[in-house]
Amino acid sequence: MDRYAVFDNKTILITGAAGFIGAALAKRVCMENPDAKVIGFDSVNDYYDVRLKEYRLKELESFKNFEFIKGNLADKKAVDEVFEKYQPNIVVNLAAQAGVRYSIEHPDAYIESNLIGFYNILEACRYHMPEHLVYASSSSVYGGNKKVPFAVEDKVDNPVSLYAATKKSNELLAHAYSKLYNIPSTGLRFFTVYGPAGRPDMAYFGFTNKLINGEKIQIFNYGNCKRDFTYIDDIVEGVMRVMAKAPEKKDGEDGLPLAPYAVYNIGNSNPENLLDFVQILQEELIRAKVLPEDYDFEAHKELVPMQPGDVPITYADTSALERDFGFKPHTSLRDGLRKFAEWYKEFYK
């Protein structure tokens, strides 16, 4: 991993700092750049076990260059105050209501966080002009695209969940603000992020919780789903590289600014079949002594049909990321799940 000297003496605002990716990113910047100031912003809602968010924040609060503000992105005044007070040079918006299935039952949460919240960030950027706005999009914008791997040039006009629709609208809003106000912005389409201290609503974590409690795990589409699992450290490395290099500001033939706007995939470019993934997960849970060696997995597995909002495959084409930043995620699923299983054992004792 390289150290990014470009962040020295910069103020970096990370929204969603109590979240999985936000906390991992904040931790790395704080460790490597003691001269940078990292402002974490998060509502610490109870969408999942708040103890995890508190655990992540506790780690961050040990850094002198980290400051945490509890607030809601949908609260325009709170967002404006943070920009006014800290004048961030780089803004990384990772706060969002996540999850495809949850969006079917709780649409309000997505409109509030992913649309109104993101609009508040864009408005604040318009008036305070940071050097770069980086924001989380999602592989879900590709919907049920048949062409794989998914490339950033592909058409993404057919979302199959409200969550996906909100993420696509973030990209559209960011483009409009980039063009109108010359705000350099980069959207990152993350592919199934996993690892230690991750999100309990994600399959690998939820499966582990259920297996420990002797409950059945449901494997959707009868196990015929493929996911491009991307390890958290690879995601953070990709985000750091992107943060360090904003899209260039330049004028078009009409003399007006061209939108300094870009979108990249960050994925492992190696889709894994869900049944193979479950096999590796169970081996690593036994190895870490999270589960006993004689655990009867077959009795706890149930193959079920596809869920609404789900897609059969996610598969990232990362050639643009490789071309512009010389980086490609590379952590194998076995290595990543091993680190998760070891962390899980430690955290839940």
Question: Catalytic annotation on 163?
Answer: yes
Phi and psi at residue 155, to the nearest 5°: -70, 130
- Any idea what DSSP says for residue 271? -
Phi and psi at residue 74, to the nearest 5°: -75, -10
Check: CB of residue 129 under 8 Å from CB of residue 84: no
Q: How far apart are CA 237 and CA 327, in angstroms?
A: 8
Q: CA–CA distance from 305 to each of 143, 167, 218, 223, 275 (Å)?
A: 18, 26, 9, 9, 14
Q: Out of 102, 163, 204, 264, pick the active-site residue.
A: 163
Residue 309 falls in which region: left (phi positive, over 0), alpha (psi -120 to 50) or beta: left
Helices 274-287 & 333-348 angle (0-180, nearest 10): 50
Token pair listed for 67:
């400051």
User: Catalytic residue positions?
Assistant: 163
